[in-house]
């Protein structure tokens, strides 16, 4: 990305910092000497986070035959990396708690983001991807740039939404024309500043332009398709009120038959309320 563009982005936007606890948690997860107990001890420093993760382990995302009672058990059953990604989702949600831009309702924004995360996770499961929680996180974060647009440059963001609504083309095109870059690029820059994996960065950057993704083309294609499905199902919105065309190459890249759409949509409807209830419950933020 040209340095000039990055400078321009930071002139507009203050990127918030990730909580310090996550840096330690992430370091522990990648450290081969770590144990379940040592990872769980870091999570346990934040009681509300630990309770939220245990609740998540018992929601409809996972269907364990017996109840998960402790964070140790959640790590053993779901996986340390996966729990780390879910923890990050909770922490990010909390970071934006209290933010209330006038342009778009936060409820609508988070409904859209959560539904996209659930959909990306289901598509990844259909493909047999090893860490489907990473896709959930990618979906949750795919429009994070849009959120900072609303907070830092509300007038331009509103102008882009209105122009898109008046039929002048997709919202991200309007953003590029008005601001000089779109929410997808800003999202990538935010994830980069948080030192999150490149797969997440590239997927977020190219969720509207999956044909431009190179190393993580499947991740970008998954987000692209998930975003379209969720717009079609009208689960919230961040200002886009139409279903964008699906990029044929992205759909092909997923290697999934059209027949998976019906069970996917049924699963989304089944999982959505239960997951949102956990994330927005007393331990996880309570934004909505």
Partner 1 sequence: MTLEHVKKMDAVTPRQENEQFIYPECPQDILERVQHEMGDLFRHANHEHPMMRELHRLCIERRIRQLTRDS
Among residues 38 and 168, whose Cβ is nearest to partner 1?
Answer: 168
- Identify which range of 45-53, 59-67, 94-102, 239-247 contacts partner 1 by CB under 8 A: 239-247
Should residue 6 be labelled a site residue for partner 1 when binding is judged by CB under 8 A?
no
As measured in angstroms, the least distance from the Cβ of 243 to partner 1 is: 5
Rank residues 200 and 225 by Cβ distance to partner 1 and give the closer one: 225
CB of 231 to partner 1, least distance (A): 8
Q: What's the CA gap between 5 and 208, in Å, rounded?
A: 19
Question: x/- string (CB under 8 A) for partner 1, residues 199-238?
Answer: --------------------------x--xx-xxxx----
Contact 141, 191 (CB under 8 A): yes
Q: Does 132 bind partner 1 (CB under 8 A)?
A: no
In angstroms, give the least distance from the CB of 193 to partner 1.
33
Q: Look up residue 171 and give its two tokens.
A: 């919202």
> 99: Cβ–Cβ under 8 A, 6 or more apart, which residues?
106, 147, 151
Using CB under 8 A as the binding rule, whether residue 166 contacts partner 1 is answered as no
User: Of 243, 274, 281, 287, which one interacts with partner 1 (CB under 8 A)?
Assistant: 243
- Residues 6 or more apart whose CB falls under 8 angstroms from that of 68 comprise 54, 57, 58, 62, 74, 77
Does residue number 241 form part of the binding site for partner 1 (CB under 8 A)? yes
For the chain, report the end-to-end CA distance as a whole number of angstroms.
Answer: 35
Least Å distance, CB 219 to partner 1, is 18
Side-chain-facing half-sphere of 83: CA atoms under 13 Å: 30
**Per rule CB under 8 A, is residue 248 in the interface with partner 1?**
yes
Contact 44, 38 (CB under 8 A): no
- The answer to whether 242 contacts partner 1 (rule: CB under 8 A) is yes
10 makes contact with partner 1 (CB under 8 A): no
Per DSSP, the residues of 98-140 read: T---SSS-HHHHHHHHHHHHHHHHHHHHHHT-S-HHHHHHHHH
Size of the site for partner 1 (CB under 8 A): 21
DSSP-derived letter for residue 235 is -
| Residue ranges in contact with partner 1 by CB under 8 A | 170, 225, 228-229, 231-234, 241-246, 248, 251, 258, 261-262, 265, 269
């Amino acid at each position: 990305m040209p340095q000039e563009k990055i400078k321009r982005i930071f002139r507009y936007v203050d990127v918030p910092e990730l909580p310090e606890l996550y840096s330690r948690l992430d370091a522990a997860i990648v450290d081969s000497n770590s144990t379940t107990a040592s990872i769980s001890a870091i999570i346990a420093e934040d009681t509300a986070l630990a309770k939220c993760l245990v609740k998540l382990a018992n929601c409809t995302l996972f269907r364990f035959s017996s109840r998960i009672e402790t964070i140790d058990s959640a790590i053993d059953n779901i996986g340390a990396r996966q729990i780390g990604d879910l923890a990050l989702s909770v922490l990010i949600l909390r970071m934006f708690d209290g933010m209330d831009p006038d342009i778009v309702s936060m409820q609508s924004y988070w409904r859209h983001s959560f539904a996209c995360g659930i959909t990306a996770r289901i598509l990844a499961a259909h493909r047999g991807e090893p860490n489907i929680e990473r896709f959930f996180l990618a979906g949750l974060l795919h429009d994070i740039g849009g959120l900072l647009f609303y907070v830092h440059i509300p007038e331009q963001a509103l102008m882009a939404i209105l122009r898109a609504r008046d039929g002048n083309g997709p919202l991200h095109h309007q953003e590029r024309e008005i601001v000089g870059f779109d929410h997808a690029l800003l999202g990538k820059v935010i994830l980069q500043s948080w030192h999150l994996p490149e797969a997440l960065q590239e997927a977020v950057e190219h969720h509207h332009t999956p044909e431009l993704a190179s190393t993580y083309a499947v991740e970008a294609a998954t987000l692209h398709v998930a975003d379209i499905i969720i717009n079609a199902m009208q689960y919230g919105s961040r200002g886009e009120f139409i279903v964008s065309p699906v990029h044929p190459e992205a759909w092909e890249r997923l290697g999934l038959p059209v027949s998976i759409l019906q069970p996917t949509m049924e699963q989304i409807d089944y999982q959505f309320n239960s997951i949102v209830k956990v994330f927005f419950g007393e331990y996880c933020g309570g934004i909505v």
